[in-house]
Structure 1
Amino acid sequence: MLDLRSDTVTRPTAAMRRAIADAEVGDDVLEGDPTTARLEATVAELLGKERALFFPSGTMANQAAVWVHTTPGTEILIDAEAHIVQWEIAGAAALCGVQIRPVTARGAVMQADDLQAAVRMPSIHAPEASLVCLENTHNGAGGVVTSLADMQALRDVARRAGLPVHLDGARLWNASVASGVSLAELASCADTVMVSFSKGLGAPVGACLVGPADLLTKAHRVRKRLGGGMRQSGVLAAAALHGLEFHLDRLADDHAAARELADIVDGAGGATVVAPDTNIVMIDLPTPRAADVAARAAELGVRISVWHERRVRAVTHLDAPLEAIREHGIRLMKALEDTTSRLD
């Protein structure tokens, strides 16, 4: 069975497990954990920010960022299909008391013109905006990379409106490798950035929020309030450090595997593939049979995700080498064809 539901399904390699076992640890809630401190310093330097803070999850880090940037009764401007909107169970409303103003993108992802059109004229009758949120790569659009120029244009719209910017960069590693633009350059378009270690880097858990020291001090208090303080967190930070050292550059292999998979299945059973920028392959179906396609694929040895009734998703990763993608891509192609043939 090849599991392509997400790049979060990877298991720590033997070398990563050794790094976990050998990690120097302390109490990070008290005087600090040395390995976690090293991870935070490394990530802050990579992204060109003043400070980083280790979190149990990207969702918690995103919500902490929303918390420190906003005040209750305001709204955040964000792509309508962004992770913070679709997959964080209304955390911005429940935890921070802010509403989402979803921006409908005319293309694959939100661009500067889309954002500008969503900025409200000042009115005593309308909520004030307090934050702009970006996402790169964009999960819901199929791992689409927003270019540096487009990121800068979005940032400029936010600046003219007097709004800070938070970047959900769960897969910013992929955006950097695919575009050839440094992490620091991409991160320069936002005040705060979240990066995840449990996706392409193959770590079992964890994320960092990076940004100015004063905001991160506030985020530290939010993390505590949300129950995110971790004691001997160095065992987790060690896995993230290992991923950064040994798995970052190899993300190009995942991107190549995604392109290979897309080529194999495109057109099968009338399906249309969204050409992948990175490691996410979205497959659009001619009929609302996504659950049936996923079930048939599982019967043939491939696990994929149902995105909605006409779309399934496959994600390449560390545990899915190119040879396996070629073999199981043919099985996925058959699943698409078999599901369509049952309609005849």
Structure 2
Amino acid sequence: MIVDLRSDTVTKPTPGMLEAMFNAKIGDDVFGEDETVNTLEAKAADMFGMEAGIFCPSGTMTNQIAIKCFTQPLDELIADQTAHVYRYEGGGIAFNSRVSTRLLNGYRGIITAEMIEPEINAENIHYPHSSLVVLENTVNKGGGSCYALEQIKPIAELCESKGLKLHLDGARIFNALAHTGDSAIDYGKYFDGISVCLSKGLGAPVGSVFLADKVTIKYARRIRKVFGGGMRQAGFLAAAGIYALDHHVERLKIDHSHAQILAEELANCGWVANVLPQETNIVLFDTVEPASVILQKLEEKGIKALSTDKHRIRFVLHLDVHPEQVEYTVNVLKSL
């Protein structure tokens, strides 16, 4: 048996999603004529209480477009030191937008208004101009930790009072919503921009949507073109995103319960030094032996995973991991 726990990006389209893709009405999206893309963008914007959206090939592109839209060269953005936009987007903040980054040390990637406020630079020619705060929900490096809206509200209020924009890297935003019970539409009250990934837990093969007001999205289309992200008959991919939003949101709680099963079993394993708190579909745990040794043992049993540090391994649950595979994984963990 093969159990792929490397990432929730490894999922394949379900039969229903494939049917929706094959039946999509398409056109040239760069000309604004792809009916299915237009539908996806409007649907995602409505879900989050935003004015408009733009469909892009990846979450990295939507995040980088957002940063480009909300900053100017010589600005500075504020984010946690674990942030995906800082660690895993190829240095794009500096390359694409020519801004610096002020990093904070939050708890499992979660930062607060009290942490942010003293890091906002005064108006002084010696300092970069603080113009943007970026939050990630859920936090990948935090083991799927997530913000509730009650934590976001004071950050949004601070940003508004200080004249900073607030962007959400919502790579796994629906996992956060499944955990907190918050409403997606309320997010539009607090964020200037939201990146919604469709190709992780939601199971679409490709794509993210950047949401903002109409003026920002108009500019974002120019930036997407410059980044080479203009797709033509992209409706085939957009149809997968629509299907995912319609059919794969509620089931995310299944992935969370599977993650909980594995986290509880890992806590009983002698070869595990520590298991981080599990909230959503990610389990991070520290190993007594080097992670590479454990990963080799797991791979010999058909279980694929990744390390995030020399003694830390990540499991990610998703729609292609079924109950019998979870049971098999539990038995393998017990046997190591």
TM-score range, shorter chain: over 0.9
Sort the Cα spacing of 1:270 and 1:28 in 2 relative to 1 into closer, same or farther, 3 A: closer
Tell me whether 182-191 or 313-322 shows the greater mean CA deviation: 182-191
Inter-CA distance 317–107: structure 2 relative to 1 (3 Å threshold) = closer
Distance (Å, rounded) in 2 between the aligned partners of 1:7 and 1:214 = 33
In the alignment, which residue of structure 1 is the partner of 2:101? 100
Contact 2:66 2:220 survives alignment (8 Å)? yes
Shift of the alpha carbon at 1:256?
A: 0.7
Deviations 1:221-277 (CA, angstroms, capped at 9, x unpaired): 000000101111000001011111111110011111110111111142133111211
Moved more, 179-188 or 257-266: 179-188
2:284 is the alignment partner of 1:279? no
Task: Normalising by structure 2, report the TM-score.
Answer: 0.96
Structure 1 pair 31/181, CA: closer, same or farther in 2 (3 Å)?
Answer: closer
Residue in 2 that maps onto 1:81? 82
1:187 Cα deviation after fit: 3.9
SS of 1:76 mapped into structure 2: strand
Aligned partners of 1:301 and 1:331 also within 8 Å: no
What CA deviation, in whole Å up to 9, does each residue of 1:110-169 have, x standing for no partner? 122211232233322111111111111111101111111111111122222210101000
Q: Is the Cα contact below 8 Å between 1:106 and 1:114 reproduced in 2? A: no
Q: Is the 8 A contact 1:300 1:332 kept in 2?
A: no
Structure 2 matches for 1:169-180, cutoff 5 A?
169-180=170-181
Separation (CA, whole Å) in 1 of partners of 2:107 and 2:329: 34
Relative distance call for 1:187 and 1:273 in structure 2 (3 A) is farther
Shift of 1:332: 3.4
* Distance change in 2, residues 1:108/1:229 (3 Å): closer
Q: Indicate the residue corresponding to 2:297 in structure 1.
A: 296
Does the aligned pair in 1 maintain the 2:70–2:165 contact within 8 Å?
Answer: yes
- Note the residue ranges of structure 1 that are not aligned, 5 or more in a row: 338-344
Q: Does 1:148 align with 2:152?
A: no
Distance 1:127 1:31, change over 3 A: closer
- How far did residue 107 of structure 1 move? 5.7
Identity among equivalent pairs (%): 37
**C-alpha distance in structure 1 between counterparts of 2:261 and 2:207, whole Å:** 29
Within 5 A, what are the aligned runs for 1:52-91?
52-91=53-92
Partners of 2:234 and 2:334 lie apart in 1 by 42
Cα distance in 2, alignment partners of residues 140 and 158 from structure 1:
24
CA contact 1:74–1:99 (8 Å) conserved in 2: yes
Alignment of 1:286-325 (within 5 A): 286-287=288-289, 289-325=290-326
Matched residues in 2 for 1:327 and 1:97: separation?
48
CA distance in 1, matches of 2:36, 2:13: 18
Alignment of 1:1-344 (within 5 A): 1-106=2-107, 108-268=109-269, 269-287=271-289, 289-334=290-335, 337=336
Check 1:108–1:61 CA distance in 2 against 1; reply closer, same or farther (3 A cut). closer
Give the Å deviation of 1:108.
Answer: 4.8
Runs of 4 or more, structure 1, over 6 Å off, are none
- State how far apart, in whole Å, the 1-side matches of 2:36 and 2:143 are: 34
Alignment coverage as a number of residue pairs: 334
Assess if the C-alpha contact under 8 Å between 1:170 and 1:196 holds in 2. yes
Q: What is the CA deviation profile of residues 293-343 of structure 1, one whole-angstrom value per residue up to 9, with x for unaligned ones?
A: 112111111111111112110000000123311211331343xx4xxxxxx
Task: Describe the superposition over 1:9-42 as per-residue Cα deviations: whole angstroms up to 9, x where unpaired.
Answer: 0111111111111111111112420011111111
- Report the 3-state secondary structure (helix = DSSP H, G, I; strand = E; otherwise coil) of the residue aligned with 1:237: helix
Partners of 1:310 and 1:249 in 2: how far apart?
34
**2:220 corresponds to which letter in structure 1?**
A
Partners of 1:271 and 1:286 within 8 A in 2: yes
Rounded to whole Å, the distance in 1 between the matches of 2:328 and 2:108 is 33
